[in-house]
Structure 1
Amino acid sequence: MSGYVEAARVLRNEQIGADVWIMELYAPKQAKEAQVGQFCNVRVTDGTAPLLRRPISYAGFDSEKGTITLLYRVVGRGTELMTRLEKDDTLDCLGPLGSRFETSRHMLLVGGGVGIAPMLCIASKLKDGEEAQVLLGFRSKSESFWADLFKPYPVKVHITTDDGSLGTKGFPTALMPTLAADNDFSAVLTCGPTPMMKGVAAEAATLGIPCQVSLEERMGCGTGGCLGCGCDGAGGKRYKVCQDGPVFPAEEVFF
């Protein structure tokens, strides 16, 4: 799917963490067709610097209101420009793009960094007969604002921190065996830094739970034309993350 190009109108753009912002936009075409795990590719300027669009996962969408929600971390010139957008400004958004997460009856959602965004989207869109628990990995207690975003939704949130300042000390994988022993999870869904996802996928395999991962590759066009986001797949396959993904069965890309 090539998505729609919309001049999305900014409804809200506010800072929620040291370098993390949340933006709500009126983009009715995308809001109507978006699915959990998909993303939009945003153009932050009409000029040539920065030239490429920025891929950002949907943290939420509302087809009735015609809105999409994006979470982004300021890491360079492009995302810094996004912080300057004010209410009623417009942002060039191309989406929805990519594949979706396949949800199921009892999910463990594991997120780290801005990879928490698609986990938040899933939590906000649980269907009848579906339930989820959320496992979030932070560096320290100072990042706990991420957990607050889940409060409106019927999910139980578990937290790990690298320094032990909040929740369980260690990485998310440290808590997965205990949670799996107490729950009959039908799937593990994860997004975040690649080392974290590889660890989560390996632990899920050990526990015998199917795992889906959302890769965070650098992208150019977002539609499969530039070949800039290629990754190796099992059996010698070659995938375009923007088009074949970003969501894959873990064993297809971590092998």
Structure 2
Amino acid sequence: MREKELAKVISQKCIGTGVYSMWIETKAAQTAVAGQFVSVYCKDKTKLLPRPISICQIDKEKGRLRIVYRVVGEGTEEMSSYSAGDDISLIGPLGNGFMQREGKKAILIGGGIGIPPMVGLAEALKDKAEVSVVAGYRDELFLTKELENAGKLYIATEDGSTGTKGTVIDAIKEQAVGGNVIYACGPTPMLKAIKEYALANNIECQLSLEERMACGIGACLACVCQSKDKDAHSNVNNKRICKDGPVFLAEEVEL
């Protein structure tokens, strides 16, 4: 069982409109793997539930993690006010990370705020596999330098301002991006399209699901998704995204 921890903010900066990057000194860095998340508690005690934030980068040697998040409500608005030296209360690492397939040609796909986890995964796979990264944005780009350092980067934008105009699937087809295994994180419509593409092309596919969470440790059943098999915990066809995921094999879940 993970324990709540009082960690320390090392640095924070705004890297896009409403998008913030924070490095945190935390015990969670010792065991974290790409694809996991931390749950951050607000200092405002009227906000009881923690905010789940994906891990972007892991520095085990220095005992620190990087999170990149978008301000979407009062909790993340509070987080955006933190600065170096501030305490930050969190629990983690939580969930199951990506199953890293060594020696396989990897396609990493991130959409919107699902892009940050791809940075840490690309770094973890860099010396184990050939890595291609496909990143989908509405318009404004972020984390492109980090992604380019870890693999070949392809970009899709909704407005066509950079790279392929359209979706990540459009970019994969236009650029003929090939691989043996797909790792993806992003909004559900994007993940559904990726699952269909992977199944049609007989490619192994791992999906990291985005969902609003409450407890973050699998107790409350607030973040379930429909699954192919019955869950041993609830005996119904669902999976707890925070506990059983957030990463699943594509064929395990119904989107």
> TM above 0.5, one fold?
yes
Cα distance, 1:182–1:95 mapped onto 2, change above 3 Å: closer
Aligned residue number for residue 56 of structure 1: 53
Deviation of 1:131 (Å): 2.4
Give me the identity figure in percent: 42
Deviation of 1:118 (Å): 1.0
- 2:122 aligned with 1:126, yes or no? no
Matches within 5 A, 1:87-106: 87-104=84-101, 105-106=104-105
Matches within 5 A, 1:31-180: 31-48=29-46, 50-104=47-101, 105-126=104-125, 128-140=127-139, 143-151=140-148, 153-179=149-175
2:192 to 192, 198, 204: 198
How many Å separate the matches in 1 of 2:109 and 2:177?
A: 16
- Which is worse superposed, 37-46 or 127-136? 127-136
For structure 2, the 5+ residue unaligned runs are: 231-236
Q: Which residue identity lines up with residue 161 of structure 1 in the other structure?
A: T
Question: Number of residues paired by the alignment?
Answer: 247
The answer on whether the counterparts of 1:20 and 1:74 sit within 8 Å (CA) in structure 2 is yes
Aligned residue number for residue 234 of structure 2: none
Structure 1, residues 183-240: CA drift from partner, whole Å, max 9, x if none? Answer: 3x12101001110111111111112111110111111111111111111101452111
The answer on whether the counterparts of 1:177 and 1:207 sit within 8 Å (CA) in structure 2 is no
Q: Which residue identity lines up with residue 81 of structure 1 in the other structure?
A: E
Instruction: Give the match's secondary structure for 1:217.
Output: coil
Deviation of 1:251 (Å): 1.6
Aligned residue number for residue 247 of structure 1: 247
Deviation of 1:137 (Å): 0.8
Structure 1, residues 68-109: CA drift from partner, whole Å, max 9, x if none? Answer: 100010000000000111110011110011011012222100
Deviation of 1:182 (Å): 5.6
How many Å separate the matches in 2 of 1:44 and 1:182?
A: 41
How many Å separate the matches in 1 of 2:254 and 2:238?
A: 13
How many Å separate the matches in 2 of 1:169 and 1:251?
A: 29
How many Å separate the matches in 2 of 1:163 and 1:71?
A: 23
Pick the structure with more helix per residue: 1
How many Å separate the matches in 1 of 2:174 and 2:203?
A: 14
Instruction: Give the match's secondary structure for 2:97.
Output: coil
Cα distance, 1:193–1:133 mapped onto 2, change above 3 Å: same
The answer on whether the counterparts of 2:132 and 2:177 sit within 8 Å (CA) in structure 1 is no
Structure 1 runs, 4 residues or longer, greater than 6 Å off: none
